[in-house]
Amino acid sequence: MPRANLTLTLPEGVWVGDVTRAHPDARIRILAALADDDAGVGLAEVSAPDLDAVLREIAASESVTELDVLGRRGDGVLIQFETTMPLLLLPMQDSGVPLEMPFTIEDGRADWEITAPQRRLSTLGTQLERFGIPFTVNEVHQRFEPEQVLTHRQLRLVSAAVERGYYDTPRRTTLTELAATLGIAKSTCSETLHRAEEKIVKEFVEDVADRAPEARSG
């Protein structure tokens, strides 16, 4: 499934963007958030050299209706806030893409990691544009788990082959030795490895092609 890294630029008038632009050394890490059509509630860590000034500015924001300091630690605090403008959550709701927490906001920019089908990523881009949120796609790559590509038997055999140096140059073990170690026939070991290698190589080539379409044309 595709995984994308985005950098969003928060528009003027969004409190978290305005506050971090006014205090470039401040860092707001959103730990949890939820929203409906009228308001949003969130939990965040705020750190800054002049923390009291940042908290005063957050509290003074017109769109922040509640602010509670839940705890302090060094130059940081844990806060809970309620806002009438949960702008960052609205594109996620409308696109059906879950927002991964936590994410960080600094100097008016938010960094997101998103995992979703390609069609939903495209819808998210459309929704971000609709809400007037400029964004940059830093990277898109295919994310998969080994268990999604290989069978349990194939994964076990490939892992054993790597561990015993079958893929080292020069090899530290032979196919015959690997098969004997695992208690399987040499022909079975060879065929299982070949099928596993085929899946791994094809997955790798597909991933490269998705991230760099120009690679298809050489």
Question: For the ranges 42-56, 147-161, 194-208, which has the lowest average pLDDT?
Answer: 194-208
Phi and psi, residue 48, nearest 5°: -170, 150
Percentage of the chain exceeding pLDDT 70: 89
pLDDT over 90 percentage in the chain: 54
Q: Is 69 helix (H, G, I), strand (E, B) or coil?
A: strand
Contact partners, residue 130, CB within 8 Å, separation at least 6? 91, 94
Confidence bin at 9 (pLDDT 50/70/90): very high
Task: List pLDDT tens digits, range 156-180.
Answer: 999 999 999 999 999 999 999 999 9
Three-state secondary structure string covering 98-150: CCCCCEEEECCEEEEEEECCHHHHHHHHHHHHHCCCCEEEEEEEECCCHHHHC
Q: Say if pTM beats, i.e. exceeds, 0.75.
A: no
Bridge partners of 41, per DSSP, are 34, 82
pLDDT in tens, 67-113: 999 998 777 999 999 999 888 888 887 788 888 889 999 999 999 98
